[in-house]
C-alpha cells in the first residue's frame, strides 16, 4: 500500500476531466504554471502577452497556462470463466492488479471506475474518487467471481456507450476471444481513451504441460477439442500463441494503445510497480 501511494496514474494523452483534480490537465487554462505560447489574435487578453518576446522578436505571443484537472481511470476486468484457470489463477491476478490500480487512482483523486466484463458488463462500481472509496473498491473487486462466457465486443460497446468521459482505460484480460478482439477493441482503442491492454496468461497456457491423447474442454463454452499431444502440436500451439499475442499487440499499437503481456507467475506488484511504470501507465 505504501508503495502504491507513491504512484499515480499517468496519461499520455491530454484528457479533459470534469473536475479540477490533482492531475495537470493538458488543457490550457488559467493556472500559474506556464505551458506554452501562441500567436496573438485580436480579442485575446492583453495581460497574457509575453512582452519579452515582443521586445526581441517584435511579434506578439500569448502565454498559455496548464490547468489541473481530475483523470478518469477505467479498469475493465475480465471476469469470464476463461480467467478462472491457471495456477496462479488468472482471475485472482486480475483482481489484484485491478485493486492496485484502483487504489492508486483513488488516492490520487482520480475518478476510478471498475467494470467487470464477461457476458457483457456484469458489474461496475461507478465513478469513485478519494481515498475513502478504497475500501468500497476493494470490497467490490474481491467479490468478483469468474462467470459466464466472454462477450468482449458487446462488453466494450456497452462500456464505450456508458462512459463518454475520456480517460485512461486499462483492460485486464487474457484476450482469448473466439469472436476476435478487433471488434471489441475498436470501441475503446484509438479514441477518447488512453488505452492500456494487459494480457494475463497463466504458466499453463504459456507452456502447456499436457501429455497423451486428450479431450480438451473449453472452460467457458465446453467446446471439445480432441488432441494427441505431441511435440509438434505443442510447438505449433506456442507458435500460435506467440502470433496471437503479436497480432493483439500490433492491433493496439497501431491505434495508439499500449500492450503489456504478463504471466500470473510474475508477482502482481512487479507488474504494477515496474512494468506498468515502464509503460507509462503509472508514474
Partner 1 sequence: MSGLPTFLNPLTALLAAGMVVPPLLLLYFLKLRRREQQVASTLLWRKAIVDLQVNAPFQRLRRNLLLLLQLLLLLLLCLALARPVVHYTPSPGKNTVILIDHSASMSAVETFGAANTSRLEEAKRQARNLVDAMGKDDRAMVISCDDSAQIELPFTTDPQRLKTAINAIEPTDRASRLKTAYKLADAQTAFNPEQLRSGEMDLPNVYLFSDGRVLDAGELRLRGNLFFTPIGSSDLPNVAVVALSAKRNYERPAEVQAFARLANYGPDPVEADVELRVNGEVRGEATGELGCFLYPERWDQAQRDNYQKIPGHLPHKNSVTFPKIEIFSAAVISVRQIPRGPDALAADDIAYVVVPPPKSLSVLLVTDGDYFVEKAINSMSLKHPDILSPAAYEDDPKLGHPITYDVIIFDRYQPRWLPPVGNFMHFGSIPDGLPVVAVKEQGQNVMLSRPGVLDWERDHPILRGLMLNRLFINEAIKFQIPLPAAVQVLMQGYKGPLMVLCRQDRCTHLLVGFDVVNQSDWPMRLSFPVFMHNALEFLALGADMDVRLSYAPGSTPRIPRVNLQQAGVPDRIRQIKLDGPMGRKTLTVSEEGGDFVLPALDKVGVYSLDPPIPQFEKIAVSLLDANESNLMPQTLAPGGIGQTATGRGKAPWELWWWIIAAAGLPLLMIEWWIYTRRMHL
Can you give the binding site for partner 1, defined by CB under 8 A? 82-83, 85-86, 90, 174, 176-178, 202, 205, 208, 210, 212-220, 223-233, 236-237, 239-241, 244
Residues forming beta bridges with residue 148, ordered by sequence position: none
Q: Which is nearer to partner 1, 16 or 241 (CB)?
A: 241
Q: Which is nearer to partner 1, 10 or 227 (CB)?
A: 227
Closest approach of Cβ 172 to partner 1, in Å?
15
Strands 111-118 and 193-201: unpaired
Q: Which is nearer to partner 1, 1 or 225 (CB)?
A: 225
In terms of Cβ atoms closer than 10 Å to its own Cβ (0-12, 13-18, 19+), residue 30 is: exposed
CB atoms inside a 10 Å sphere around CB 267? 14
Task: Extract the C-alpha cell encoding 55.
Answer: 521586445
Residues forming beta bridges with residue 72, ordered by sequence position: 111
Q: Which is nearer to partner 1, 38 or 217 (CB)?
A: 217
Closest approach of Cβ 262 to partner 1, in Å?
15
Instruction: Work out the angle at residue 178's Cα, subtended by the Cα atoms of residues 172 and 183, and round it to the nearest 5 degrees.
Output: 70
DSSP string of 105-119, one letter each residue: HHHTT-EEEEEEEES
Closest approach of Cβ 119 to partner 1, in Å?
15
Closest approach of Cβ 257 to partner 1, in Å?
21
Q: Which three-class secondary structure state does DSSP give residue 155?
A: helix
Closest approach of Cβ 196 to partner 1, in Å?
22
Nearest to 60 by CA among 46, 73, 74, 71: 46
Task: Give CA–CA dist 137/139, Å, rounded.
Answer: 5
Closest approach of Cβ 203 to partner 1, in Å?
12
Q: Which is nearer to partner 1, 50 or 154 (CB)?
A: 154
Q: Which is nearer to partner 1, 50 or 183 (CB)?
A: 183
Task: Give CA–CA dist 192/14, Å, rounded.
Answer: 10
Closest approach of Cβ 278 to partner 1, in Å?
27
Q: Which is nearer to partner 1, 52 or 228 (CB)?
A: 228
Residues forming beta bridges with residue 195, ordered by sequence position: 169
Nearest to 93 by CA among 258, 213, 263: 263
Amino acid at each position: 500500500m505504501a508503495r502504491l501511494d507513491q504512484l499515480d496514474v499517468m496519461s499520455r494523452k491530454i484528457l479533459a476531466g470534469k473536475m479540477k483534480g490533482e492531475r495537470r490537465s493538458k488543457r490550457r487554462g488559467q493556472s500559474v504554471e506556464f505551458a506554452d505560447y501562441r500567436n496573438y489574435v485580436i480579442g485575446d487578453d492583453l495581460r497574457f502577452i509575453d512582452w519579452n518576446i515582443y521586445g526581441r522578436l517584435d511579434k506578439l505571443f500569448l502565454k498559455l497556462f496548464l490547468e489541473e484537472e481530475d483523470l478518469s481511470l477505467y479498469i475493465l476486468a475480465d471476469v469470464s470463466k476463461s480467467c478462472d484457470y491457471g495456477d496462479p489463477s488468472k482471475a485472482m491476478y486480475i483482481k489484484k492488479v485491478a485493486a492496485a490500480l484502483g487504489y492508486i487512482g483513488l488516492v490520487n483523486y482520480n475518478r476510478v471506475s471498475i467494470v467487470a466484463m464477461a457476458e457483457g458488463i456484469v458489474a461496475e462500481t461507478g465513478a469513485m474518487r478519494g481515498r475513502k472509496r478504497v475500501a468500497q473498491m476493494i470490497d467490490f473487486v474481491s467479490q468478483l467471481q469468474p462467470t459466464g462466457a466472454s462477450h468482449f465486443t458487446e462488453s466494450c460497446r456497452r462500456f464505450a456507450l456508458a462512459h463518454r468521459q475520456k480517460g485512461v482505460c486499462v483492460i485486464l484480460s487474457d484476450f482469448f476471444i473466439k469472436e476476435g478482439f478487433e471488434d471489441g477493441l475498436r470501441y475503446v482503442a484509438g479514441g477518447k481513451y488512453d488505452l492500456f491492454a494487459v494480457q494475463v496468461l497463466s504458466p499453463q497456457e504459456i507452456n502447456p504441460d499436457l501429455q497423451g491423447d486428450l479431450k480438451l474442454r473449453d472452460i467457458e463454452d465446453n467446446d471439445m477439442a480432441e488432441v494427441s499431444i505431441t511435440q509438434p502440436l505443442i510447438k505449433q500451439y506456442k507458435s500460435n500463441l506467440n502470433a496471437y499475442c503479436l497480432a493483439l499487440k500490433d492491433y493496439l499499437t497501431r491505434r495508439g494503445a499500449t500492450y503489456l503481456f504478463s504471466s500470473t507467475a510474475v508477482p502482481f506488484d512487479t507488474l504494477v510497480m515496474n512494468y506498468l511504470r515502464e509503460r507509462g501507465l503509472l508514474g
